[in-house]
Amino acid sequence: MKTLKVIAALGLGVLVSACGNMPDIASRNAPFEATGLAAAAPYAQTQLPQSMRVTAVHVRVPSNLTVSEANVYYPRADLVWRGEPIGDRHAQIKSIFETAFIHGTKEMAGDADVTLDVEILRFHSVTEKTRYTVGGVHNMEFRLTVRSAATGLALAPARDIEANLPAFGGGQAVEAERRGQTQKVRVTGYLAQVIRQELAKSTVPNADGSLAFAAK
């Protein structure tokens, strides 16, 4: 699992200013401070276009993903999110990914029109107990499929991506809130970076004929 260090100076400001045929898994473990569907065969091609324009982002948070609101250090659930008032966590997480991926791809002005299918596999943030003591990690896993906007065909195999953003704890968390760097702002800004970097990768053949992703 490849680890990529990402340090960003400016993200969204305040959102304006996770065996066979399993896809390749890309792992990210990146600090961030913002002062900042399984693919359908056949594939249209085996390499993503080098010049893309994202015309639509489709995010799905399966209803069978479990949610926990327990205020313990490490709840056993697929979805743990406390960066917004208690509510429909599936909908809140869906909105975060939509906002992040639209923002992260809006400057792409390539020749190939593509759409993104995004299936959330896990979104495990920190509870209040963790946030205001030791801190932790915002662990986000999703499956990404890039499709031709014209035909709907997947342009390359789907890939599972794991994105890990350190979650502030204690006084650092409080200070970040004061600066407007809420959990939602930081997570959204980080995911915007992740999608830009993932779309900058191409598929290359392994020795066994399978496909792997490599940076362009």
The tens digit of pLDDT for each residue in 45-78 reads 446 777 899 999 999 999 999 999 999 999 999 9
Residue 49 has a pLDDT of 77
The answer to the question of residue 138 being in a domain is yes
Residue the block writes with tokens 């056949």:
42
The answer to the question of residue 51 being in a domain is no
The answer to the question of residue 208 being in a domain is yes
The answer to the question of residue 183 being in a domain is yes
Residue 29 has a pLDDT of 53
The answer to whether 74 and 163 have CB atoms below 8 angstroms apart is no
Give the residue numbers spanning the domain of 130: 25-36+66-107+122-143+161-215
The answer to the question of residue 156 being in a domain is no
59's tokens = 């995010």
* Reported pTM: 0.77
How would residue 30 be classed by pLDDT, with cut points 50, 70 and 90? Answer: low
Position 209 pLDDT exceeds 90: no
The answer to whether 43 and 51 have CB atoms below 8 angstroms apart is no
Position 17 pLDDT exceeds 60: no
Average pLDDT over residues 97-103: 98
Residue the block writes with tokens 């209040």:
128
The answer to the question of residue 2 being in a domain is no
The answer to the question of residue 84 being in a domain is yes
The answer to whether 32 and 189 have CB atoms below 8 angstroms apart is yes
Give how many domains the chain has, as a whole number.
Answer: 1
Bridging pattern class, strands 201-205 and 159-167: unpaired
The answer to whether 128 and 83 have CB atoms below 8 angstroms apart is no
